[in-house]
Amino acid sequence: MPRTIIDCHIHCSESKDDALLSYAIANGLKYNLAELFEMMAQNGVEQGLLLSPPMKNGKPLDNKQIVTMCKKSKDRLFPIITAEPSRTKVERSIELAKAHKGYVKGFKILLGYFPLYPYDRIYKKIYDYAEKENLPVMFHTGDTATSSGSLDHARPLAIDVVANERPNLKVVVCHFGNPWLQDTGEIMYKHPNVYSDISGMFVTGARYSRNYIDFLSRAISEVIYFVGKADKILFGTDYPIERYPDAIDFVRSLKLDERDIENILSKNARGVFDL
Ligand SMILES: [Zn+2]
């Protein structure tokens, strides 16, 4: 299979303390780098972006380990630095991005896991640096992996404030803001520099999974009609949340032109992340 697909949202830690292990087990995945590389090859995935998974203590994996894992990948994986909201963590995230300039492909902000909105001043330096270096900032939006998350802070519409203030900052709304799909459509429609990934939207194996995936496919297609174009939609699995065959089938099920589907799988992310 020719390798052309870009997966813009992958997690991995190879740690037994990884909080995503339960998803991996439910999906029958080993959830390690060797398996990931094998699955990428089998499914025509050329490159991916690696993001810190949450650990069982609630904190994301140290970003340095993400960089180290990417270095083992022979340019198949590139790091996204997760910026936690503290002055020290923000400084460290920027230092790490500077130390690996050109290699680090963006930042991630975890909305919904802290009682902070995306326009909180704590993130200012991240946005300044990202804007200067043309690095996208990815935002976790929508449902939180834990029941203690704050949905109010995870709403994609709050990103409108940041996008208004910073028209040159590339913003990626993760998980299409699910369940706020239409809100995500609106901020993409309104802002030239707001994009969205369709990673981690579903799990398989539950009683109504098939119905739910069919619903999501229709709903996302319709939001894309509202936006008027599909060139801001980015493919992602949120590995180990979705398996590659399921995630790729999902993109192919969208009621869009074939050219748009291919661009979602590949070209759109190349442009946004400079891959
Ligand atoms: Zn994720």
- Give me the phi and psi of 139, to 5 degrees please: -120, 125
Q: Is 44 helix (H, G, I), strand (E, B) or coil?
A: coil
- As to burial, measured by CB atoms within 10 angstroms (0-12 exposed, 13-18 middle, 19+ buried), residue 42 is exposed
Range of the domain at 165: 5-273
Give the domain CATH number at 193: 3.20.20.140
Cα–Cα distance, 204 to 184 (Å, whole number): 24
In 3D, which of 198, 152, 155, 143 has the Cα closest to residue 175? 198
| Distance from Cα 165 to the centre of ligand 1, integer Å | 26
Q: What is the pLDDT of residue 146?
A: 82
**How much is the average pLDDT of 85-111?**
97
Question: Structural domain tally of the chain?
Answer: 1
- Give the model's confidence band at 3: pLDDT under 50 very low, under 70 low, under 90 confident, else very high: confident
| Distance from Cα 81 to the centre of ligand 1, integer Å | 12
- Give the model's confidence band at 205: pLDDT under 50 very low, under 70 low, under 90 confident, else very high: confident
Cα–Cα distance, 137 to 105 (Å, whole number): 9
Q: What is the pLDDT of residue 252?
A: 97
State yes or no: pLDDT of 46 exceeds 90.
yes
Task: State both tokens at 247.
Answer: 């995630």
State yes or no: pLDDT of 209 exceeds 70.
yes
pLDDT in tens, 8-24: 999 999 999 999 999 99
| Distance from Cα 225 to the centre of ligand 1, integer Å | 26
Are the C-beta atoms of 244 and 237 separated by less than 8 Å? yes
Task: State both tokens at 3.
Answer: 């390798």
**How much is the average pLDDT of 218-245?**
98
Q: What is the pLDDT of residue 249?
A: 97
Q: What is the pLDDT of residue 2?
A: 67
pLDDT in tens, 151-191: 999 999 999 999 999 999 999 999 999 999 999 999 999 99
Cα–Cα distance, 37 to 13 (Å, whole number): 14
Q: What is the pLDDT of residue 271?
A: 95
CA dihedral of residues 142, 146, 148, 151 (deg, nearest 10): 0
Q: What is the pTM of this model?
A: 0.97
In 3D, which of 234, 253, 238 has the Cα closest to residue 194? 234
Q: What is the pLDDT of residue 61?
A: 97
What residue type is 37 in one-letter code?
F
Are the C-beta atoms of 264 and 233 separated by less than 8 Å? yes
In 3D, which of 79, 8, 80, 82 has the Cα closest to residue 40? 8
Are the C-beta atoms of 269 and 235 separated by less than 8 Å? yes
Residue with structure tokens 């690696």? 50
Q: What is the pLDDT of residue 1?
A: 64
| Distance from Cα 44 to the centre of ligand 1, integer Å | 21
| Distance from Cα 257 to the centre of ligand 1, integer Å | 27
Mean pLDDT, the chain, whole residue set: 96
- Give the model's confidence band at 147: pLDDT under 50 very low, under 70 low, under 90 confident, else very high: confident
| Distance from Cα 234 to the centre of ligand 1, integer Å | 13
Are the C-beta atoms of 218 and 255 separated by less than 8 Å? yes
